[in-house]
């Protein structure tokens, strides 16, 4: 991928959208782990916990970018990312296992461990969107750090106020998944000679996942009401 090309910036934008949409979990973990600490320590926990979590996430993402070069794993990763996008639309996540800590460093440790355990969706999505570029991985995650640290509460309020943002994020995830699938070496040539099929596949896949997620969510709402 050529540096600072249109493809480069579109991939960077996809990474930023993915980070923003999936930052809600990070914000909740930070809030739960730090809620028992004095106000003056909460800011330190937020900064150190987030920096540690992002560092671990960068390392994990770089490993996944390398792994995606193995034949067949792009296809497998794309299929897994489709499932992650669907679950983003329909699943209500439970964070009851995140314990409120009373010491600063215990809270930081809790944030880093919990984020690493919950961060597979973000790692896989960013690795797929980066298309093998380590620079894009690091750049995208570094740009997202201040957003997660200072804007995570705002992100959650936006998502609660504008639920459609979840669909935009899920759409980006499925778009990334589609690109991973069509770039899989043993089927890439087939899509390259059929650009109409390539775009049709992407559009149908995005529409299908969003529609399936919406219908599942509506059924759950009716059942719970």
Task: Please indicate whether residue 34 or residue 208 has the higher confidence score (pLDDT).
Answer: 208
Q: Which of 209, 133, 204, 115 is nearest to 166 (CA)?
A: 209
Reply yes or no on whether the pLDDT at 39 is more than 90: no
Residues 6+ apart with CB under 8 A from 64: 77, 123, 124, 127
Measure Cα distances from 56 to 53, 61, 63, 78, 164 in Å.
5, 9, 11, 22, 30
Measure Cα distances from 199 to 86, 179, 193, 203, 204 in Å.
20, 10, 12, 6, 8
Tokens of 183: 């770039």
Tokens of 171: 């759409």
Question: C-alpha angle with apex 151: 149 to 155, nearest 5 degrees?
Answer: 130
- Compute the average pLDDT of residues 112-122: 65
Using CA atoms in the order 152, 155, 161, 164, what is the torsion angle rounded to 10 degrees? -140
Q: Which of 113, 122, 105, 117 is nearest to 47 (CA)?
A: 105
Q: In this predicted model, what pLDDT tens digit does every residue of 40-83 receive, in sequence order?
A: 777 777 777 777 777 887 788 788 888 888 888 888 888 988 98
Measure Cα distances from 58 to 9, 116, 119 in Å.
19, 11, 11
Q: Alpha-carbon distance 123 to 133, whole Å?
A: 14
Q: What is the domain partition of the chain in residue ranges?
A: 6-224
User: Scanning the structure block, which residue is given the tokens 């069509």?
Assistant: 182
Q: Alpha-carbon distance 212 to 217, whole Å?
A: 9
Mean pLDDT of the chain: 76
Q: Are 203 and 209 in contact (CB under 8 A)?
A: no
- Compute the average pLDDT of residues 92-115: 61
Q: In this predicted model, what pLDDT tens digit does every residue of 15-27 receive, in sequence order?
A: 877 776 666 556 5
């Amino acid at each position: 991928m050529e540096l600072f090309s249109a493809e480069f910036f579109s991939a960077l934008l996809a990474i930023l959208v993915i980070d923003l949409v999936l930052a809600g979990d990070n914000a909740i973990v930070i809030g739960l782990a730090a809620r028992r600490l004095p106000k003056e320590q909460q800011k330190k926990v937020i900064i150190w916990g987030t920096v540690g979590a992002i560092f671990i996430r960068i390392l994990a993402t770089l490993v996944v970018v390398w792994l995606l070069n193995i034949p067949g794993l792009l296809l497998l990763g794309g299929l897994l990312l489709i499932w992650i996008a669907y679950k983003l639309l329909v699943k209500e996540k439970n964070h009851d296992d995140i314990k409120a800590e009373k010491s600063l460093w215990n809270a930081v440790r809790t944030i880093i461990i919990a984020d690493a355990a919950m961060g597979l969706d973000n790692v896989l999505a960013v690795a797929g969107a980066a298309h093998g570029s380590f620079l894009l991985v690091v750049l995208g995650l570094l740009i997202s750090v201040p957003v997660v640290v200072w804007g995570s509460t705002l992100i959650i309020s936006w998502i609660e106020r504008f639920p459609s943002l979840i669909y935009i994020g899920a759409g980006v995830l499925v778009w990334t998944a589609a690109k991973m699938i069509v770039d899989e070496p043993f089927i890439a040539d087939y899509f390259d000679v059929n650009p109409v099929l390539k775009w049709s596949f992407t559009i149908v896949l995005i529409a299908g996942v969003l529609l399936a997620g919406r219908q599942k969510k509506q059924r759950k709402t009716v059942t719970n009401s």
